[in-house]
């Protein structure tokens, strides 16, 4: 059977490298690509039967771990693998805690990516060796916030992301081509579902799910 794989990353060069690794692992792979969460959702609306999703935590619209939590709920039965240039042990551990089935650093060689993909598709969880050694028996419990995020509708999640970026209601309304009254209604629902009263409290509540962007290395 053909393996359908989604590569969700906003960097074309890395998508090309990952595509090469995927094709080395699965010669019959049917590969789809998305460069944003909205692009991923458009493919999802077509009811494509993904066998695995490869997700960049910094892709537009994902907003760190909140995007991972949201997508884990949307695709419960699909292996979801994080690919990231942020390779701190803490980030890897939290990605697994929030539902990722594996974590592939962007610094990995094509050979390592190929090995990781084969193991993940065989039902194994793959992490870099240094992260496996450091994995603690338990991690902090974020289940309450996870449940709140997964209760959001797709449009509410998009609005929440724009809120986190500091956009005002009228700007969000313009970007989504809806009325400002509609955005206010979404905000009210978001605050209620997150258990907060206003924008400031919402940003603070979601702060722990954010991830600092990777530092720029001038000598990759």
- pLDDT attached to residue 219: 40
The residues of the chain that CATH labels 1.10.10.10 are 142-209
- pLDDT attached to residue 136: 65
Q: Is the pLDDT of residue 217 over 70?
A: no
Q: What are 178-197's pLDDT values in tens digits?
A: 999 999 999 999 999 999 99
Residue 72 has a CB neighbour count (10 Å cut-off) of 21
Q: How confident is the model at residue 137 (pLDDT cuts 50, 70, 90)?
A: low
The residues of the chain that CATH labels 3.40.50.2300 are 3-134
Q: What is the mean pLDDT of residues 163-169?
A: 92
Three-state secondary structure call for residue 62: coil
Q: What are 75-121's pLDDT values in tens digits?
A: 888 889 999 988 888 889 889 888 899 999 988 888 888 888 888 88
Three-state secondary structure call for residue 59: coil
Within 13 Å, how many C-alpha atoms sit on residue 113's CB side?
A: 24
- pLDDT attached to residue 138: 64
Q: What are 63-73's pLDDT values in tens digits?
A: 889 899 999 88
- pLDDT attached to residue 8: 93
Domain 142-209, architecture per CATH: Orthogonal Bundle (1.10)
Q: What is the mean pLDDT of residues 153-182?
A: 94
Residue 154 has a CB neighbour count (10 Å cut-off) of 14
User: What is the percent of the chain with per-residue pLDDT over 70, rounded to a whole number?
Assistant: 90
CATH number, domain 3-134, options 3.40.50.2300, 3.30.70.60, 3.40.50.170, 3.40.50.300: 3.40.50.2300
């Amino acid at each position: 059977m053909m393996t359908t794989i989604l590569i969700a990353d906003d960097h074309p060069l890395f998508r090309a490298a990952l595509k090469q690794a995927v094709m080395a692992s699965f010669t019959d792979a049917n590969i789809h690509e998305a460069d944003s969460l909205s692009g991923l959702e458009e493919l999802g609306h077509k009811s494509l039967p993904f066998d695995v999703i490869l997700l960049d935590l910094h892709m537009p619209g994902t907003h760190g771990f909140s995007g991972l939590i949201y997508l884990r709920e949307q695709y419960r039965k699909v292996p979801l693998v994080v690919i990231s240039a942020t390779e701190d042990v803490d980030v890897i551990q939290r990605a697994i805690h929030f539902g990722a089935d594996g974590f592939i650093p962007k610094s990995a060689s094509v050979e390592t990516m190929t090995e990781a993909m084969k193991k993940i598709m065989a039902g194994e969880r793959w992490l870099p060796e240094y992260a496996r050694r450091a994995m603690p028996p338990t991690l902090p419990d974020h289940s309450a916030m996870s449940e709140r995020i997964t209760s959001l509708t797709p449009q509410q999640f998009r609005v929440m992301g724009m809120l986190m970026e500091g956009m005002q209601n009228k700007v969000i309304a313009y970007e989504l081509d809806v009325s400002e009254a509609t955005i206010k209604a979404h905000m009210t629902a978001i605050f209620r579902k997150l258990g907060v009263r206003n924008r400031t409290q919402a940003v603070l509540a979601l702060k722990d799910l954010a991830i600092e962007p990777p530092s720029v290395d001038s000598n990759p």
